[in-house]
Amino acid sequence: MTLWFVFALMTVAAIFAVLLPLGRSGRAQEQGGPNQGSEVAVYKDQLAEIERDLAVGLIAAPEAEAARVEISRRLLAAAAGEPAAAPKSNLKWRRSAAVLALVGLPLVAIGVYMPLGSPRLQDFPLAERERGTGMARSLENLVVQVEQHLEKNPTDGRGWNVLAPVLQRLGRFDDAVRAYRNSLTYNGESPERRSDLGEAIAAAAGGVVTAEAKTEFERAHALDADDPKSNYFLGLAAEQDGRKDDAANIWRALLAKAPADAPWRPLVQSSLARVGGGGSGTVPALSDETIAASKDMAEGDRNAMVRGMVERLATRLKQNGDDVEGWLRLVRAYLVMGDRDKAKGASTDARQAVANDAERLRQLNEGLKTLGLDG
Amino acid sequence: MIAESGHYALVLALGLALIQSIVPLIGARLADAALMNVARSTALAQLLFVGASFLALVMLHVNSDFSVANVYENSHSMKPLLYKITGVWGNHEGSMLLWVSILALFGGLVAAFGNNLPLSLRAHVLAVQAWIASAFYLFILVTSNPFLRIANPPIEGRDLNPVLQDIGLAVHPPMLYLGYVGFSISFSFAIAALMEGRIDAAWARWVRPWTLVAWIFLTLGIAMGSYWAYYELGWGGWWFWDPVENASLMPWLAGTALLHSALVMEKRNALKVWTILLSILTFSLSLLGTFLVRSGVITSVHAFATDPTRGVFILLILCLFIGGSLSLFAGRATSLKQGGLFAPISREGALVLNNLLLTVACAVVLFGTLYPLAMEMLADFKMSVGAPFYNLTFAPLFALLLLAVPFGPMLAWKRGDLLGVMQRLLAAGVAGLVAIAIAWGWASGGATLAPLAIGLGVFVIAGAITDIVERTGLVRVPFATALHRARGLPRSAWGTAFAHAGLGVALIGIVCETTWNSEHIATMKQNDVAHIAGYDVKLDGLFQRQGPNYREMIAEFKISRDGEAISVMTPSKRSFTTRGSSTTEAALLTRGASQLYISLGDANADGAIAVRIYHKPLVLLIWWGPVLMAFGGMLSLSDRRLRVGAPKPARAKQRLQPAE
């Protein structure tokens, strides 16, 4: 309520600024003489100045005379051209100006402010927020405090160890990657830290096991061949690369060695089910849901994720172009990303790739037609 | 509360500006004093509201209120207070708010101190100011609103670009904006004169000091920016001819021309139409500069964010104002009365030559700036126009200009005596020649033109001194009389001398730095010694330190010369975690006007570090020159006399100098 009161006061002040001169009578504003501010006044001042300069000895008499003649010439010209019109007052126009201020100003102010402003939001100065806030904020507060501590003592390995998983859970993957790296530097090598780092890198890439992440998992695997996390992600990498058989083999081996009550068993089992334990070399999942889900992510994450997957798919199709379904997925992905040119390019490539096989070409054309890309 | 009040104040300022752009014009048409006076009170109220809005943004930054998007994106709670404040204009939205605040400030000043202006002229001027202001308020509110909020405020901000976390940010942008925006006053006066269809004496009396104020700030702003680039970017360069620098140089060149033509107009009532055109061009170039920097057409340290809608919006403003004013000029210029006549060889003639050279130089810079942009857009062909182009075009023009500079102030108004002036400048010419001879003998290597340029610089300085000597009659009359006359000299005469000497000083600095600087780039380990320009630079060691929001690696160098220890230099590299970027903090050792400059590169694993060491002879003169120019400008500004150029009587033989 105070905010609106302040707004009202400000508006009144603004209106007052417009009304003030309108209220005064015309004569009150003539502070100076009739020539005030006019050309004649300037020239008269100049003439007076020449006399002063002459008296001080700054200019010689002939020059003063020449200047005087020049100014007088201008003065005469100005006096002749001086408009005789005295200031008038026009009540009708003054009233409309007053109405403009009284009605127009608040209307413009509210009309512009309402769509842009957030009058219901309070200020959140940092000092106030640190003093007392709800539970939801306390975790973030703690994180900030730990981060500030680590900023000053960057070699505190234990601190990084504590911070990294929290950052990962908060979704600050890039920071988590850095924290895990620091943890590795100051706490030394371990398979768990390596695979945690790999997981963070993959998360930062929107779930794609990038080459960088894969390197970390391979290192973890080299340190401890039974490390479940690195095994799981190496399987995932294989799946994303389209090597479903390899993925299935890795996960099967992992399940075989796993204790019966391992909490990650269901995850690996469902992954294994997804790849179907073998069969033809079909394309990795790039379902509509994945792309749709990615829309909810932050712009950067989403782009990284989709682009990563699509690039992978495109590269593989370049090497092995028989896969009609894969081509259709690629085209659809480009369309979803709004890149119609690339989609067209991909469909042309696809037609070339399957041109020798009439049956596949027919499938492809049908698929493209449903995507609205025929011809 | 603060955030929303600031936002609302900005909106109210827009409303007031809209009223101010219409009502006074109607008043001027009807010759209604009350309606015309609305301009005055609304301009002052506008200043109040924009000032409040700007203050609100400053408070939000100081309080680290991250519920404001602008604060979240450009601030950090651990940033030192100074950078929290300067960070307000270290980003696009905030800097535009500063822009309009300064615009409102100038409008407010005209309103407050314009009592001696004819009522209708003041109404017109303030209305034109309000048009500009309205356009930019809309631009800010629609495309770059600094008061947008975040519903769920993050706990920590993203920090300011580390390169900008420097004292330079506190000085450079406000100065530059005071310069840019200050030219809006002469623009408004020019448009007002065109609308009224007459230019009276009060017009000229007002335009010159305002132009001078803007010019002083612009000069200092450009010099400061150049020095900042010199020590912050780590390469020891001080001018790169990059489009953003050109964007500030063009209004400066046009503004300098305007300053001189306004002088002719004030004193001799001549060159009226030309002065009006220059006023329009100068402010148009300021707007163009704003467009180039703010639209993201050019990516540089100045383009904080790129957003096509902003570019289009500013382009619209640009077209509206430049196109509108130029067509108004084309339509109305012929109806203006032409003023006094003069002979080609006269003070006026010299000033026309000055204007000619400055505008051509300005056109050259404009071409060099826009041509690559046009090529990139139209022909999709990337090119850069750099120093070689300007050395071939801009440098000769400026050399010609400098050659003419000493003659100008010594010529009489209306008709001058070139031969007499040449005789009196003989001493200055000799001084220049001696300087050339000395530079030639002393310099080993370097460009052949360098000694000539130094001679030119000395000639300009000696010419400025000669002018003062002539006016006081130092060699002809007893010293006491000369001293008395020196005190009695108008301060504008001193101002002219200082400003012109500043040009010579800057030229000498530029030539010495570019011709005889030496550099040493090496990878150094502890206790390694580098030799440069007679100095021994020994790396004593590297160590780490924690700053408020960064970590820095400091290298300590012992500087000695001929075995005698001089000083310790500590360049550093700062890394800022929040933005994940780093800056190099060069160390400078000043010896006279020369500097030793050390900046750090990357460190190797084995404790060695890449080091760039430069020795820059007389480099400081480059910035002392503009400071001297600005000082001259201030002297001239403090001279509040009315000016009238007394022509020398045609028949009377010359005996003394003409009066200022």
Is the per-residue pLDDT at A291 higher than 60?
Answer: no
Share of chain B above pLDDT 70, in %: 93
ipTM for the complex shown: 0.85
Please report the pLDDT score of residue A286 as a whole number.
47
| B525 SS3 class | coil
Is the per-residue pLDDT at B79 higher than 50?
Answer: yes
Q: Minimal CA–CA distance to B147: which of B100, B95, B90, B93?
A: B93
Taking only residues 86 to 125 of chain A, the set having a beta carbon closer than 8 angstroms to any beta carbon of chain B reads 86-90, 93-94, 97, 100-101, 104-105, 108-109, 112-113, 116-119, 121-125
Continuous segment of H or E residues that includes residue B589:
strand B587-591
What is the rounded CA–CA span in Å between residue B313 and residue B303? 16
Please report the pLDDT score of residue B629 as a whole number.
96
Is the per-residue pLDDT at A368 higher than 70?
Answer: yes
Contact (CB<8Å) B658/A63: yes
- What are B346-399's pLDDT values in tens digits? 888 899 999 999 999 999 999 998 888 888 777 777 777 788 899 899 999 999
Is the per-residue pLDDT at A281 higher than 60?
Answer: no
CATH number of the domain located at residue range(s) A138-275 in this protein: 1.25.40.10
- What are B587-636's pLDDT values in tens digits? 999 998 999 999 998 888 777 889 999 999 999 999 999 999 999 999 99
Residue A112: list chain B partners with CB under 8 A: 11, 14-15, 141
Residue A10 contacts B, CB cutoff 8 Å:
yes
HEC profile of B24-78: HHHHHHHCEHHHHHHHHHHHHHHHHHHHHHHHHHHHHHHCCCCCEHHHHHHCCCC
Residue A45 contacts B, CB cutoff 8 Å:
yes
The residues, ordered by sequence, that sit 6+ positions from A221 with a Cβ below 8 Å of its Cβ are A191, A227, A230, A231, A234
Please report the pLDDT score of residue A35 as a whole number.
45
Most A-contacting residue of B200, B546, B552 (CB-CB within 10 A), to test interface: B200
Residue A262 contacts B, CB cutoff 8 Å:
no
Residue B116 contacts A, CB cutoff 8 Å:
yes
Contact (CB<8Å) A13/B45: yes
Which residue from A minimizes the CA distance to B115? A37
Please report the pLDDT score of residue A184 as a whole number.
86
What is the rounded CA–CA span in Å between residue B581 and residue B545? 17
Residue whose entry in the numeric block shows the structure tokens 């001018």? B239
Query: Which of A145-154, A169-178, B522-531 is modeled with the greatest confidence?
Result: B522-531
Residue B27: list chain A partners with CB under 8 A: 93
Chain B nearest C-alpha distance from A44 (Å): 10
Is the per-residue pLDDT at A277 higher than 70?
Answer: no
Residue A319 contacts B, CB cutoff 8 Å:
no
Residue A88's pLDDT band (cuts 50, 70, 90): low
Is the per-residue pLDDT at A223 higher than 90?
Answer: no
Please report the pLDDT score of residue B485 as a whole number.
81
Share of chain A above pLDDT 70, in %: 80
Is the per-residue pLDDT at B525 higher than 60?
Answer: yes
Please report the pLDDT score of residue A131 as a whole number.
56
Taking only residues 249 to 288 of chain B, the set having a beta carbon closer than 8 angstroms to any beta carbon of chain A reads 269
- More reliable by pLDDT, A329 or B281: B281
What is the rounded CA–CA span in Å between residue A183 and residue A194? 10
Residue A57 contacts B, CB cutoff 8 Å:
yes
| B596 SS3 class | strand
Please report the pLDDT score of residue A33 as a whole number.
43
**Radius of gyration over alpha carbons of chain B, in Å?**
27
**Tokens standing for B475?**
């060699």
CATH number of the domain located at residue range(s) A290-370 in this protein: 1.25.40
Query: Mean pLDDT score of chain B, rounded to an integer?
Result: 87
Residue B115 contacts A, CB cutoff 8 Å:
yes
HEC profile of B299-335: CCCCCCCCCHHHHHHHHHHHHHHHHHHHHHHHHHHHH
Please report the pLDDT score of residue A32 as a whole number.
42
Residue B647's pLDDT band (cuts 50, 70, 90): low
Q: Minimal CA–CA distance to B3: which of B52, B64, B60, B74?
A: B60
Residue B551: list chain A partners with CB under 8 A: 151, 154
Is the per-residue pLDDT at B655 higher than 90?
Answer: no
Among A121-125, A135-139, B252-256, B445-449, the range scoring the smallest mean pLDDT is A135-139
Measure CB to CB from residue B8 to each of A10, A62, A101 and give the nearest one. A10
Residue A108: list chain B partners with CB under 8 A: 11, 14-15, 18
Residue B343's pLDDT band (cuts 50, 70, 90): confident
Domain residue extents for chain A:
138-275, 290-370
Residue A64 contacts B, CB cutoff 8 Å:
yes
Is the per-residue pLDDT at B578 higher than 50?
Answer: yes
Please report the pLDDT score of residue B46 as a whole number.
96
Residue B24 CB coordination number (10 Å): 31
Domain residue extents for chain B:
1-151, 425-516+623-638, 518-616
Which residue from A minimizes the CA distance to B642? A46
CATH topology agreement for domains A138-275 and A290-370:
yes
Is the per-residue pLDDT at B333 higher than 90?
Answer: no
Amino acid of residue B245: E
